[in-house]
Structure 1
Amino acid sequence: MNTLAAIAPVITADQDALRRDFPLKPFAIHHKLAGHPLLTLPRIAQLAAELPRDLIEYNSGKVAISQDPDAIPSVDLDPVEVVKRIETAGAWMVLKRVENSPEYRRLLEDTLLSVARARGFNSLLDAGFEQVEGFLFVSSPNSTTPFHLDSEDNFFVHIHGEKFFTIFDNTDRSIVSDDEIERSMTKHRNLKYDESFAPRATEFHLFAGDGCYVPYQWPHWVRTSGSFSISMAITWKTREVRRLNDLHFFNSMLRGIGFPQQPPGKQPVLDRLKLAFYRTVTTAIRPLRASMAMRRVLRRIALGKRANYYLKGA
């Protein structure tokens, strides 16, 4: 981990918003990553050639806000060509877990460390920034990322183009129910969207150098404008987030074999027992995830037959 005595602020935000809203509510941020050498199309194309294929997901950008995950239109190009031809490919792409590259890991950690220091902490761990991961998004003009939620906290930084990021309160169960939250986290991230939700949205209109903080499980959808787009999600999981995620996954597994479950937090004593058992099992199978073939099998078992839809022949 970077332990430099001073880190120039890469991400900045209104200090009142940072003190008042973090980590419970979204707010606008600004950053200095636009034009960074690691975040240009040629370097992203190189990264697409280096990453394991199952860490690259892409499809047509012409999808509905409430997209049926079983009917996602594909793009007949290889990942590198998608990046190189993004202006005309009509595609949406995410390169996952970019921290697997040491250069990108340093970028992510230095960026978050600047936020940690702005909040008065000396390290990422002191600030609660654990399990740091990065996700790079490359989208063609007029593309849509469907309505969904994510299982981590996120500083979303916009690098190139124009983007509209529309986000909703995760405490409003009339928008997303407890069952839908679990299904989005454990089966497929897409959620059902209704236009009646629109008045309750907060929209961030993003250009290069802009961004927003996206709290854990806040549902959102995104669209690009008339130019191609590059963005990056700088994410982390606190201990509490990891606990909740593990409970959601174990609840989903139990529900799948016919045992209804209460959402995390409703039965604290039972939650602790379930968590201990689940973590014992997942620790035992973790070494299997080193194999891409085994990752495909595990995703199919956990997430269903469409879990590997973005892999050719999966």
Structure 2
Amino acid sequence: MTAEFVQDYETFTLGDFPLQHGDTLEDAKLAYKTFGELNADKSNAIVYPTWYSGFHWDNEWLVGEDMALDPRKYFIIIPNMLGNGLSSSPSNTPPPHDKANFPKVTFYDQVEAQHKLVAEHFGIETLQLVTGWSMGAGQTYQWAVSYPDMVQRAAPFCGSSKTSEHNFVFLEGVKAALTGGDSFKGGFYDVKPEDNLRRTGRVYAGWGFSQAFFWDRVYTDMGHSYRLGIDLAFPTLEDYLVQYWEGHFLDRRDVNDLLSMLWTWQYGDIGQTPGFDGDHVKALQSIKAKLIAMPALKDLYFPPEDEVYASQYIPDGEVRVIPGVWGHFAGSGDSAVDRKWIDDVIRELLAG
């Protein structure tokens, strides 16, 4: 499951980038990849941000000539989050903002960085769609609030506009796994704390998929993963835990990077957008985009109820629940059935 790391992306220089909590990230950079061509009037652009621990190639399963995100028709931009290891992150930033000294980055900051790329570099004034999974969904909501006249449609899947207290507590468990043990050294390690990454995989394993997924032992034959390009079949539960979960976090992930993105996630709240004074409902009411939220039926930390609650305040909001037992990872691209379900909804949204 090891991804080949090649320079298949571009880098946009943000310069000295001011952050919402007062720090300035010096000589900041945003890594991104594009698909398709921007048309003459720059009206065919789509933004598709990455997710917690994900890189741009982990998003590519939703892009293709047979998909709603068709590069023959749309110009698709996949920006890597600040903190993910490709854009400016604890693991690639020089002192004084290296390692555990990396500043706090909010969803608002993520979208401000992406907006500079979209508007200043490409000269784009309107977006046909913003979409994303998990933390990508959080960025989708933030785009719709930060730039309501720019975002025409939004399709957040398996994510939320505000991190719930239960979700926050789940992430406290992940944080404990990442920071425990002597090898972490307060975030100033020189040797990768692999035990911490393995423990993180074990913690995540109980949350990424649903109880029914384990009851049915779906991990023994998960089918062909469009995201990873391999068949996912694990003879035993231990094989699944080691190969799928420990392997994911050991593969090119850095502990400080994961902690940076975790903080962004824990404090996600569109109500903290400047001008809303922490009022989450008021921020939802400001969204002008046609928005279809796609929570997964058995998602353990982004339950459909949260999106139903939020949708009532979005003027043109709707909720479509992804069926099945895959839980949060219904949005990962690893399930062919869920991949088609999500693609069909996005296709309908773009046709509207």
> Same-fold call, TM > 0.5?
no
Q: What is the TM-score with the length of structure 2 in the denominator?
A: 0.28
Greater length-normalized contact order (CA 8 Å, ≥ 6 residues apart):
1
